[in-house]
Structure formats: structure tokens, C-alpha cells
Structure 1
């Protein structure tokens, strides 16, 4: 029995020693080396000098993919504002959304269907303008949207249909002369979220305190409730705000930005862009553009001529 126990202990010691030695001697597999990743390609420079270039209307037709899609669902779906007086706002009596921007998309609907009422107006906020085009929630956006190079990377634009500029609205008793006036330093100034107006305001006077609202009416409410000292934005929008508030005025300053308005469309719908550009050319030529401007904007902004279209953007292959 003692011999058996001794033999067992000897075997156990041998196994333990072998196991220990084998474990210590085993080499761990080398750690995998991360694969080299090529650096991202540098972004193409954005040239705002060519931002106004749109697709020439030559060859515009109803017999193209985007137009067939629109005809198929029986109406033009347009993203618009319902609270920008004179541009796109709801008439409190009729309940209809009306204004200069609305006239633009109604003309497109009439060119497609022969009836301007074959249109569905979907009210959107400023930050929604690009997403609703990218996901095809709407066919077109007419919501005082500035054409610029960066946005061309996300959506497509028609030729310019109105040239606006940014100014600032303040209380009637304000002594400020311009947006840069030191009187406005430290004052809260509202600008729509997701708009070029907000960026322009910060550059024009870094000493103001910018606050935002999703809609033009939102900024007006903040102003009228005393939460915003002023509003900065396109002169077209501010003219509508001043018309609604007798205690407000738009500063008589030179516009500190150029805001060329374009109708927005999905980047893939280049055929629709061409068609819309054809409609805009016809409106400018036959007097419909002038009649709409005279009705909605001339009383507040004075006389104006329609901007000349700029083409030359190459169609994607």
C-alpha cells in the first residue's frame, strides 16, 4: 500500500512538473497587427462662386423619371412655411397657405398637371428643409432657402428666383443703426435654427447673444415676449414680422449677406430641376413673376426685377 501511494505521488509530481513546464514553454500567438487604413480622400473644395449654376432647362420634359413619379401620385408635394408673412403663411380667414413662395410651386404644379391646385403643401420648419428632400418626403421645397455650395452637396437647386439679403429687426425705440452697432452688444438676437442667417449673424456681430427658434413665428414670439431683443434674417421675412408688430422696425442698413433663393429638390431629380427652371423662365417672361412680387413683396421691399438665371452645372453621368 505504501509502495502504491509513493508511486502515485511520484506520478502526480511528474505530471505537475510536465504541465507546469509545458505551459511556461508555450509561446503565445502574436497579436494581430492592425491593417493600414488609407487616409480619407481630401474633400473637394466648395466654390461658392459657382453655387448659382443650375441645370439648363434644355430637354425638359414630362416624360422623365421624376416627373413620371410625381404624375403617378397625382399631385406635386411641396415643403413650405406657413408662418412667413408674404412668403408662405396661412390666411386666417380662408385657412389657405399663400405667398410669393407658394406662387412659385403652384406654377410648377400647373405646368405639370394643367391645374395649380394639384398640389399638396406640407408645412415644414427650417431645419427640416434638407432632410425631407433627401428622403423624398416631398418633391420640392419653397421656403426662402438660400442657394450655397455646401447645400449643393446635399440637395439640388433651381436657378435663383429671388435675391434677398440679411438685416436685423429691433424695437421701435432702439438707437441701433446697424447690426454691428455696439448698442446691440450683449443683446439676445433670434435667428432661425438650421439657417444661414444664424451663421451670418455670428460673423456680423460676435458680441450679440444668438438664440434660435425653428420657425420665423417662433423668433417673433420670442421678440414679442421680451426673450429676444431683436430678430436677424432675410429682409423678406423681417418685412413680414414688422407688418405684424407696430412696435418693431427693420434697421435701414445695407444687407450684410447675399441670400439667393432657390427651389430645393432631391439631388437625383435633375430632370425635375430642369423642368422647374423652364417654368421659372416662363414666369419671368410672361409677367407672372412680376405680378406675384408686386402683390406680396413690393409694398414692403420696393420694386425689383427677377434675377437672371445662371446655368452651366453639368448633368451627372
Structure 2
């Protein structure tokens, strides 16, 4: 198992990848997605992905204070895994055939779908089809939702930012008309700023979130799958979902079956 040096619960991991004797584990997640992976003002992290990753780490023998968190932006996830900078990544990481060429996945631990976030007073965007009239749509470079828009909705002015939080700020300031990504991510932003945004339309894709890890590491993959199965069975999975995403108006789904 790849262990790394660093202060426990440090949100700004440095180095990483080299074996050490301090008994920590480096886990990648998002730092800017409320309800999923968010760095709080006091430096701690919270969210559904964080809770899932913390549970998995516990099953692998690492207490919460032995976790070193490393930010894993969408476009950098494969690189972080391939360069041994993290042990695994839980960061709204959709399982796709293209990504399977570079990394392996455990899970999925959540199935969601791509949706749209607009300002609360918006009336002209009601779903994906209403984006075709040269609407400015924001998503994140390297993300599955951005690629889906390119492939399916050619009439949209897609603007790609580094983070979804930057997209949400652009929406708030009127620089874009809508933000698109998975419904659970959008629900986190809507819950963070009540009354400012709303989710419109029905999900128009299926995104299967998995735990990304080193390609071919079947031993770790099996251990993580076992941990996910246990988390679902003992009620911790639903409790984590409700705690982190319930306020955004998303009801906890039935846990998905794991790939084997």
C-alpha cells in the first residue's frame, strides 16, 4: 500500500507517493464541492465523498487522523493516481471506458445524472433542449459532463473552468446562463446558498461514481469494494447521503450494485 508523509488531516498535502513509517494514507477528493467534498474554513473536510473515503480508510486500518487529504481536480485525477501521489480518489469520479484505460475503479458507490443549475429567477432554461439557443453553459475541463455537452449539444456555448465553484460564481454574476454537472453536485451548491439557485429539468445522463485507484491493483480494489458493501449494509451509506445531500432536495437512492 502506498503510504505518504504529511500531517494528518492536512488539506494541503505535499509530496506523497513514497513509503514511510508514519502510518498515514493519502486520499484524493474535491475541496470545492459542498455536500460532496468541501474544505471548511477550519481546514477540515466534509461531504458524502469524504465520508465514504473515511469509511473505506477505516476498513483499511487507517483512523480519520491518519488520513492526509489531497485536492483532486477533475483534470488531474488520473495523473495523481498514475504518479502514486494518492492511494485512491473519491471525487465525483465517473466510471468510463476511457478512464479505465488509465486507472482502475472500485464501486460504483453512487449513481446520479447530469442536470442543470440556473439562477432562481430564470425562466427560459427548463432542461437540456432549451440550451441550444446559444446559451452560455459552464462546466469543468476534463469532466464527463463537459464531454457529454460537446458530443450531444453542439449549439451550446460551452465554457470550461477549472472548478465547479468558479462556474457557480460565473452563474451568480451573470457571466453564464447555467452550470451543468451531476445532480448531486448541483444540489450541494443549491443547499449552500438557499434561494439563489435552482435545479431545472430531468437528469439527462447516468453517472456512476467509482473510487479511482492504480490500474491493475486488484487487491486494493477488492478491499475497497468490500468496504463499500459493508457501508451500504450497516446503514452508514444512507446516513452519510442524508446528512450531506438531503438539504439540497435530493432523496437518497438505492445503493447501486458493485461492478465485479
Q: Is the 8 A contact 1:80 1:102 kept in 2?
A: yes
The offset of 1:241, in angstroms, is 1.9
Unpaired runs of 5+ in structure 1?
A: 1-64, 312-317
1:167 lines up with 2:120 in the alignment: no
Provide closer, same or farther for how the CA distance between residues 247 and 298 of structure 1 changes in structure 2, counting only shifts above 3 A. closer
Q: Superposed, which structure 2 residues align to 1:143-292 within 5 Å?
A: 143-175=91-123, 176-181=125-130, 185-245=133-193, 246-251=195-200, 253-292=201-240
Higher strand share: 2
Q: Is the 8 A contact 1:85 1:240 kept in 2?
A: yes
Partner of 2:23: 74
Whose Rg is larger?
1
Q: Is the 8 A contact 1:157 1:262 kept in 2?
A: yes
Q: Is the 8 A contact 2:24 2:62 kept in 1?
A: no
Provide closer, same or farther for how the CA distance between residues 140 and 235 of structure 1 changes in structure 2, counting only shifts above 3 A. same
Q: Please give the alpha-carbon distance, in whole angstroms, between the structure 2 residues aligned to 1:80 and 1:254.
A: 27
Provide closer, same or farther for how the CA distance between residues 201 and 289 of structure 1 changes in structure 2, counting only shifts above 3 A. same
Question: What SS class does the counterpart of residue 157 from structure 1 fall into?
Answer: strand
Q: Is the 8 A contact 1:133 1:264 kept in 2?
A: yes
Provide closer, same or farther for how the CA distance between residues 77 and 97 of structure 1 changes in structure 2, counting only shifts above 3 A. same
Partner of 2:12: none
Q: Which moved more, 1:227-236 or 1:196-205?
A: 196-205
Cα shift readout 1:242-296 (whole Å, capped 9, x = no counterpart): 2234332111x22111000001001032211111111111111111111111111
Provide closer, same or farther for how the CA distance between residues 159 and 71 of structure 1 changes in structure 2, counting only shifts above 3 A. farther
Q: Please give the alpha-carbon distance, in whole angstroms, between the structure 2 residues aligned to 1:137 and 1:145.
A: 17
Partner of 2:40: 91
Q: Is the 8 A contact 2:75 2:141 kept in 1?
A: yes
Q: What TM-score do you get using the length of structure 1 for normalisation?
A: 0.72
Question: What SS class does the counterpart of residue 89 from structure 1 fall into?
Answer: strand
Tell me the C-alpha RMSD between the 2 structures. Answer: 2.0
Find runs of 4+ consecutive structure 1 residues off by over 6 angstroms: none
Higher helix share: 1
Partner of 1:306: 255
Partner of 1:293: 241
Q: Please give the alpha-carbon distance, in whole angstroms, between the structure 2 residues aligned to 1:146 and 1:70.
A: 28
Unpaired runs of 5+ in structure 2?
A: 4-17
Aligned residues: 244
